[in-house]
Structure 1
Amino acid sequence: MFIARQPIFNKAMKIYGYELLFRSDSSAVSFGNASSVSATATVIGGLFEQGIDQIVGKAKAFVNFDYDFIMSNNIELIEPDTLIIEVLETVEVDAALIDRIKYLKREGYQIALDDFEESYVSYPIVPLADIIKYDIMVTPLDTITSDVKQALSQKKLLLAEKIETEEEFQKAISMGFHLFQGYFFCKPKIVGSSSPKRSSKVQYSMILNELKKEEPSYDTITEIIESDVNLAYRMMRVISHKKGESAFNSIKYALVRMGLIDLERWINILMLQDISQNKPLEIMRLSLVRSRFSEYVAENSIYKERKEEVSMMCLFSTLDVLLDQPMEEALKGMLISNDIFNALVHGKGKLKPFCRLMLSYEQGDWTAVQKYAQIIEIDTEILYKGYLESIQWSSKILTFFQ
């Protein structure tokens, strides 16, 4: 079973929910016809057994359903306060479907129309829909102004999907959209140089407490630093300024070379600095999930000996967004390996498959996942386990930030 998730934000860039992307197994190439029923049944069953909160936390879960699955009673395995039922645009509407949707609404489920491009006035499910999703690549914002006004007057929640730029995000807000989905949130706003971000004071105090022990643990300090991509970045910047050093392939090795005395001095200086820019918490969550997931993937592949290097690379994969700089500029002067630099900046080199696998998994491009999994020689059947563990781990870490 493959499951990935794509974040859905509100106007304040807070998480409202996640759309779950899935496939039942590695042999099912597409999601459609009979295979879609099998895929959905597998995922709903898995979510019920393991707890959907393990995937979406307290957020909403948006799941695509076709006609047959809407008509089945498997939907009711998931509580209505969590599940948003997305009616696929390909679903054939008849009296039985209308009756079934009315029943599900009475049970407390919310109904979303996915990739809506029908006539707002005449489409029979519109009066029953709580959320209407517009794919702005299929139905550009300028072409749906009248429908949007009518939907707002009827108190519908409007979701703009495939938002790719800040400009599109702002335009959708101005039109009255409530929810937003796309990769606009993980793209840098290049407006010139920016200062390093402030790391959590919780991390600072945890490191200093460890340093005060009679025998500080490098493993413990490494784990604390790796839980915060900003802190890891700034640590690597500091150690990279030391002359005569070669490239570092892991945070732990960099710490050993840095030394505990210099580390403590550095932490104290960082605590006096309060340079920060607001970024969605999802950026931090994304980098943490990538770091943990990639480490799991590497450990179960032919790159087992390089798992720490792979983990650091994926932890830094959102640096351009956090610093609002091109990736090459963000990595400038850091003593990282050429393989990490080439993968993040040029999309080339030995570690490229890990970057591509991470991105493909997040986007639910299962064909590409298969391709890169074969290159690094990992069994795709175990990816879901690693992804789920990564989400759980990142959620635990992020409790310090909330």
Structure 2
Amino acid sequence: MFIARQPIFDRAMNVYGYELLFRTNEQASSYGLSTAESSTATVLGGLFELGLDQIVGNKRAFINFDYQFLLSDSIELINPNILVIEVLEDVEVDAPILYRIKELKDKGYKIALDDFVESIQTYPIVPMADIIKYDILITPLDTLNKDVKYGIEQGKIMLAEKIETEDEFIKAREMGFHLFQGYFFSKPKIVGGLRTRKTSTTVYQSIISELYTEEPSFEKLAEIISTDVNMAYRVMKVLGNEKDNHKDLNKTIKGSLLKMGFRELERWVNVLMLQELSGNKTQELIKMSLIRSKFGELIAINSNLAKRRYEISLMCLFSVLDTMLDQTMEDALVGIAVSEDVKEVLIYHRGELKPVYDIIRCCEQVDCTLLYQTTAQIEVDETRLFDWYIQAIAWSEDIMKSV
């Protein structure tokens, strides 16, 4: 089984929840020989054992349910404060289903109508629904003005799905939609010219350059960090040294760095740099880069590319740098200390390290069409991907808390 999550944002671009997308090992890019019911059962069992908070944290989890599974009592395994029940668009609406949905709603579950194409004024589940989802590839935004207005008047939360560009996001928001789903947040909007970087980016680059020398020096690193008050404070704070006597700032910073170690310092500095570069971009973008970084490293460790784990980790970390800077990836990587092989993947989508990047993208989209072929190429056991993905999510959450 593999479960990926797709963020759902509110109007302020804060994460409201995640839709959990899943496939079992026997499935390709669709349910295949498995039914939606058996797949959902697999996911709910796994989520119950794992603990849903490991995947969605304190956000809501949107999960699809078909007719048969809506009638089962397995749904109650999941806390109603976390789960949003998505009623699939092909569910037959009859008396048992209407009774069951009312029962679930009375127990505190939120009800969402997935890929809604029916009449919002007459569809019998609408009065009990909390959220109405429109797939804008199926029902374009231009056709939804009246429905959105009616839904808002009825107190419904309107969700636009398959939002792929910033322009679509802005248009849907102006129409009155409350929630937005899609990968629009991870695509650059290139407007010409280069974005001006803040002065402190030079500090980050100096640190990374020193870390990539044959024999990096804690003494030199402490000297570089001492030149930036904000950076010095954060280095000491993350390790609990902010209350130390700061008469010898360089010595205090060096002590903090020794505790952290070169590898952890590199990860931490990269995260701080991403925050600096991302400006007003959503925090979910930084979180995505962190998850990719750890996930890529775990894939590499367990593949025939194990010796290149750190290089692959950095490649994945910088995989959304173009979006953060609103530049082409080629421009975004200018002055960044990465290898030519990393640039080959991120700029030209080719090269020896590309299989790891492809596996991550397949998992994010839950598209297994090429997944098993790619994992075989670098000798990865695809049955372990889910465990590594969960580890990467947990790691990213810890990192975000520390910075």
Normalised to the residue count of structure 1, the TM-score between the two structures is 0.84
- CA deviations 1:9-32 (Å, max 9, x no partner) are 0011111000001123x1233326
Whichever residue aligns with residue 359 of structure 1, its letter is R
Task: Map 1:316-327 to 2 at 5 A.
Answer: 316-327=318-329
Find the counterpart in structure 2 of residue 194 from structure 1: 195
Q: In the aligned structure 1, how far is the partner of 2:177 from the partner of 2:336? A: 41
Find the counterpart in structure 2 of residue 386 from structure 1: 388
Structure 2: where are the runs of 5+ without partners? 202-229, 240-249
Match for 1:284 among 286, 307, 322? 286
Whichever residue aligns with residue 163 of structure 1, its letter is I
Task: Map 1:287-366 to 2 at 5 A.
Answer: 287-366=289-368
Q: In the aligned structure 2, how far is the partner of 1:32 from the partner of 1:366? A: 11
Find the counterpart in structure 1 of residue 145 from structure 2: 145
**Aligned CA distance change for structure 1 residues 334 and 395 (closer, same or farther; 3 Å):** closer
Shift of 1:216: 2.5
Would the aligned equivalents of 1:203 and 1:224 in 2 still touch at CA under 8 Å?
no
Whichever residue aligns with residue 28 of structure 1, its letter is Q
**Aligned CA distance change for structure 1 residues 227 and 212 (closer, same or farther; 3 Å):** closer
Q: In the aligned structure 2, how far is the partner of 1:32 from the partner of 1:116? A: 23
Find the counterpart in structure 1 of residue 157 from structure 2: 157
Find the counterpart in structure 2 of residue 213 from structure 1: 255
**Aligned CA distance change for structure 1 residues 327 and 124 (closer, same or farther; 3 Å):** same
Shift of 1:396: 0.8
- CA deviations 1:27-65 (Å, max 9, x no partner) are 233326852222111111111111100000000000011
- CA deviations 1:111-156 (Å, max 9, x no partner) are 0011111121222111111000011111111101111110000010
Q: In the aligned structure 2, how far is the partner of 1:360 from the partner of 1:81? A: 30
**Aligned CA distance change for structure 1 residues 233 and 59 (closer, same or farther; 3 Å):** closer
Would the aligned equivalents of 2:277 and 2:325 in 1 still touch at CA under 8 Å?
no
Q: In the aligned structure 2, how far is the partner of 1:210 from the partner of 1:365? A: 49
- CA deviations 1:54-104 (Å, max 9, x no partner) are 000000000011111111000000000000000111211111111100000
Whichever residue aligns with residue 366 of structure 1, its letter is C
**Aligned CA distance change for structure 1 residues 288 and 215 (closer, same or farther; 3 Å):** closer
Q: In the aligned structure 2, how far is the partner of 1:58 from the partner of 1:378? A: 32
Would the aligned equivalents of 1:84 and 1:112 in 2 still touch at CA under 8 Å?
yes
Match for 1:371 among 365, 370, 373? 373
Whichever residue aligns with residue 43 of structure 1, its letter is V
Would the aligned equivalents of 2:295 and 2:388 in 1 still touch at CA under 8 Å?
yes
- Mapped pair 1:60 → 2:71: no
Task: Map 1:211-250 to 2 at 5 A.
Answer: 211-213=253-255, 216=258, 220-227=261-268, 229=270, 231=272
Would the aligned equivalents of 1:8 and 1:17 in 2 still touch at CA under 8 Å?
yes
**Aligned CA distance change for structure 1 residues 398 and 210 (closer, same or farther; 3 Å):** farther
- CA deviations 1:267-325 (Å, max 9, x no partner) are xxxxxxx8872111101100000000000001111111111111010011011111121
Would the aligned equivalents of 1:102 and 1:128 in 2 still touch at CA under 8 Å?
yes
SS in 2 for 1:311: helix
Q: In the aligned structure 2, how far is the partner of 1:275 from the partner of 1:377? A: 35
**Aligned CA distance change for structure 1 residues 374 and 329 (closer, same or farther; 3 Å):** same
Would the aligned equivalents of 2:9 and 2:16 in 1 still touch at CA under 8 Å?
yes
Q: What's the Cα RMSD here? A: 2.3
- CA deviations 1:329-362 (Å, max 9, x no partner) are 0112434222110100011111111111111111
Structure 1: where are the runs of 5+ without partners? 235-273
